[in-house]
Amino acid sequence: MHESGCAAFAPFAESWKTQMRYVKPESYEAASAVLVAEQGIARILTGGTDVLVMLKAEVVEPDLMVDIKHLPGMRDIVSEDGGYRIGAAVSSAQLGEHAGVKAMWPGVVEGAELIGSTQVQNRATMVGNLCTASPAADSVPALVTANAIARVHGPDGARDVPVVDIPIGPGKTSLLKGEFITSTYLPARPDNAADAYLRFIPRTEMDIAVSSAAVSLELDASGSVTAAFVALGAVAPTVRLVPDAGAALIGTKLDAAAIAGLVAAAEAACSPITDKRGTIEFRTKTAGVLAKRAAHIAYSRAGGKT
Give me the residues that bind another protein (CB under 8 A), please.
2-10, 12-13, 15-22, 45, 48-49, 52-53, 55-57, 65, 67, 91, 93, 116-120, 122-123, 200, 202-208, 210, 275-279, 281-282, 285-286, 289
CA 292, CA 112: separation in Å to the nearest integer? 21
CA 166, CA 215: separation in Å to the nearest integer? 19
Residue 278 vs residues 100, 262, 287, 290: alpha-carbon distances, Å: 36, 22, 12, 15
Q: Please, are residues 175 and 152 in contact by the beta-carbon 8 Å criterion? A: yes
Min dist CB 224 to another protein, Å, is 26
Q: How many residues would you count in the chain?
A: 306
* Start-to-end C-alpha separation, the chain: 48
CA 230, CA 300: separation in Å to the nearest integer? 16
> Looking at beta carbons only, is 64 or 265 nearer to another protein?
64
Q: Please, are residues 141 and 197 in contact by the beta-carbon 8 Å criterion? A: yes
CA 256, CA 237: separation in Å to the nearest integer? 30
> Looking at beta carbons only, is 210 or 225 nearer to another protein?
210
Nearest to 197 by CA among 250, 258, 94, 126: 126
Min dist CB 9 to another protein, Å, is 8
Min dist CB 138 to another protein, Å, is 14
CA 208, CA 273: separation in Å to the nearest integer? 14
> Looking at beta carbons only, is 69 or 85 nearer to another protein?
69
Radius of gyration of the CA atoms of the chain, in A: 20
Min dist CB 197 to another protein, Å, is 16
Min dist CB 289 to another protein, Å, is 5
> Looking at beta carbons only, is 56 or 222 nearer to another protein?
56
> Looking at beta carbons only, is 160 or 281 nearer to another protein?
281
DSSP 164: G
Q: Please, are residues 287 and 245 in contact by the beta-carbon 8 Å criterion? A: no
> Looking at beta carbons only, is 98 or 285 nearer to another protein?
285
Min dist CB 48 to another protein, Å, is 6
> Looking at beta carbons only, is 53 or 158 nearer to another protein?
53
Q: Please, are residues 234 and 209 in contact by the beta-carbon 8 Å criterion? A: yes
Min dist CB 299 to another protein, Å, is 18
DSSP 162: E
> Looking at beta carbons only, is 120 or 231 nearer to another protein?
120
Min dist CB 37 to another protein, Å, is 17
